[in-house]
């Protein structure tokens, strides 16, 4: 089964259309489809071309309510705090970021992120998709020495070791890969990634 993952489209509709032309069994958008909640109607129209195969997270630029409404209106799947099965695999999603200096619509404090991600701990084998990257890794580095990810996401990965982890949010780290223990982790950005699960 093929999962095509991407994030941080930010109203770049040409890129979104190009990504969706790639054939896959599932499409997962890891948040920030738009900027400041504007453009979700156009986003929904494009994502609708793949319909029920599309799963969407709210990033920090959308509220959970906005994404839920878009998914309901355009026949998509709201992925926030949810999971589904692909064969033997569990695929789980959590949107929003840790606090930013910009007071965007989709932010949780670290205790809230920790509380909302914890229900996924029992899922195995796990593919975990969050908008927020783990703090202090290659996936959240804005520039050398400056990190802006989530400690709660990092702590969850270190403790529970999902097989795969995907995120977005930090544009400067787009395409970055790392291993966190046994977890293969990647910051998606607009560089979509095809994950093939057995």
Q: Does residue 164 have a pLDDT over 90?
A: yes
Share of the chain above pLDDT 70, in %: 100
Confidence grade of residue 156 (pLDDT, cut at 50, 70, 90): very high
- Count of structural domains within the chain: 1
Q: Which domain holds residue 92?
A: 2-196
Cβ neighbours of residue 144 closer than 8 Å, sequence gap 6 or more: none
Res 191: pLDDT = 86
Nearest Cα to 4, choosing from 21, 14, 13? 21
Res 77: pLDDT = 98
User: Which strand (E) or helix (H) includes residue 28?
Assistant: strand 26-29
The answer to whether 135 touches 158, Cβ cutoff 8 Å, is: no
pLDDT in tens, 54-85: 999 999 999 999 999 999 999 999 999 999 99
> pTM for this one?
0.97
The answer to whether 40 touches 71, Cβ cutoff 8 Å, is: no
38 is written with which tokens? 């504007």
The answer to whether 136 touches 170, Cβ cutoff 8 Å, is: no
CA distance 123 to 58: 22
Say which CATH number the domain at 131 has: 3.60.21.10
The 3-state DSSP class for residue 194 equals strand
pLDDT in tens, 183-198: 999 999 998 999 999 9
**Where do runs of H (alpha helix) occur along 6-88?**
13-20, 40-47, 64-74
CA distances for 54 relative to 1, 37, 88, angstroms: 14, 19, 20
Res 60: pLDDT = 98
CA distance 198 to 193: 16
pLDDT in tens, 94-138: 999 999 999 999 999 999 999 999 999 999 999 999 999 999 999
Q: Is it true that the peptide bond before 125 is cis, omega within 30 degrees of 0?
A: yes
Confidence grade of residue 145 (pLDDT, cut at 50, 70, 90): confident
């Amino acid at each position: 089964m093929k999962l095509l993952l991407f994030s941080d489209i930010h109203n770049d509709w040409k890129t979104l259309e190009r990504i969706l032309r790639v054939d896959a069994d599932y499409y997962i958008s890891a948040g920030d489809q738009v900027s400041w909640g504007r453009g979700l109607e156009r986003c929904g129209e494009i994502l609708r071309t793949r319909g029920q195969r599309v799963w969407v997270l709210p990033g920090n630029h959308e509220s959970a309510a906005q994404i839920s409404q878009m998914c309901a209106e355009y026949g998509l799947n709201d992925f926030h705090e949810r999971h589904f099965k692909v064969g033997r695999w569990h695929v789980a999603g959590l949107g929003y970021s840790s606090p930013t200096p910009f007071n965007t619509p989709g932010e949780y404090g670290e205790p809230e992120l920790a509380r909302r991600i914890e229900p996924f701990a029992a899922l195995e084998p796990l593919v975990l998709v969050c908008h927020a990257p783990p703090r202090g890794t290659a996936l959240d580095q804005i520039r050398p020495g400056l990190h802006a990810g989530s400690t709660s996401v990092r702590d969850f990965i270190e403790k529970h070791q999902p097989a795969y982890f995907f995120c977005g949010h930090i544009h400067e780290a787009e395409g970055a890969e790392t291993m966190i223990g046994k977890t293969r982790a990647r910051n998606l950005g607009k560089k979509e990634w095809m994950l093939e699960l057995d």
